[in-house]
Amino acid sequence: MNASKSSEQPLNVAVVGATGYAGGEVLRILLQHPAYHQGKLSIGSLMAGSSAGVSVAEAMPHLPQLAHRTIEASDIDKLREHDVVFLGLPHGHSAKIAEQLPEDTLVIDCAADFRLRNAEDWEEYYGGTYAGSWPYGIPEMPGARQAIAASNRVAIPGCFPTGATLAIWPAVAKGLIKSHINLVSITGVSGGGKKASVGLLGSETMGSLKAYNTAGKHRHNPEIVQNLQAVGGQNIRLSFTPVLAPLPRGILSTATAALADGVDEATVRAAYEQAYADEPFVHLLAPGQQPQTQSVVGSNACQVQVEVDHKAGTVLLTSAIDNLCKGTAGAAVQCMNISLGYEETAGLAIAGVAP
């Protein structure tokens, strides 16, 4: 698909799962998109399950531009009338919808249905029917931008894999670290979605930190390994510990690995400078400055830092992202821009909200 179609009539965009955190964030970003304000992109059907029949004013009061709209029940026939469909559904639901949409519809899936290339990984971590894989939505990875531009199907990464991959892949691609990587990622509660859950209640999370799905059990574990293998890390051994923190948004990832023989901090920094020199959303911080989630809230930015612990012979690779923006919906719009031929940064904030 190409944005030139919009010269005749606006591209029509639908969001399925519109009232979830991912769907609502997609809508927030689209409302800031220059193509929307120029009349070249229109927001069509807003669909959801249990929220069908509810007004946007009630379901998402932070989107006053759409307050007059009503959430619709999912309808494949209506979706076929749209040029772009964002799927913000629970895992395992996207494939059934996607297979019924025309090949020339740009379908962007924010769930896990098409992320994994290995059917055995899907069976182990998700279960159910394996739907295959689509081009993967981290444009900053080698070759990803070209694959996204050439496809009408895009799988948006998980939020943990986004922060972790952007922190680690340049070191893996250049062979700067050994294969055993220890990763700790601290996340805000919105990563658990909008569904009711006792473990995400304020009284359960405020003033507390908790590791969960530890020792390789988290569903994003194989996705991170897959990404690092794709850039040359064939023998990757990942120890991943996610930690829940009392924050609405944000993920801080810290990865530690032993340096390869003969590698120093200057070599590591040079590799990251080269990898991200032309990337508008990934910012390698100056030495001594650490990424922090408050600096990227509301933006599609990712802050990265690299630092060598000479006494331990290890490197610390750190990143901070907004899990709902760069970690989900921002990446989805970024991939839409690439696929449609828009400016890649269109509608997406680079500056965060602080304090």
Q: Give me the active site residues, please.
A: 159
Contacts of 25 (CB under 8 A, 6+ apart): 324, 325, 328, 329, 330
- CA 252 to CA 270: how far, in whole Å? 23
Contacts of 241 (CB under 8 A, 6+ apart): 182, 183, 184, 185, 211, 214
- CA 281 to CA 322: how far, in whole Å? 12
Contacts of 263 (CB under 8 A, 6+ apart): 176, 177, 315
- CA 346 to CA 342: how far, in whole Å? 7
Are 55 and 70 in contact, with CB atoms under 8 Å apart? yes
- CA 85 to CA 71: how far, in whole Å? 15
Contacts of 29 (CB under 8 A, 6+ apart): 325, 329, 330, 333, 347, 348
* Pair of tokens at residue 257: 């690995």
- CA 282 to CA 291: how far, in whole Å? 11
Residue located via tokens 């449609």 = 340
Q: Tell me how far apart the terminal alpha carbons of the chain are, to the nearest angstrom.
A: 39
Are 233 and 171 in contact, with CB atoms under 8 Å apart? no
- CA 331 to CA 26: how far, in whole Å? 9
Are 306 and 172 in contact, with CB atoms under 8 Å apart? no
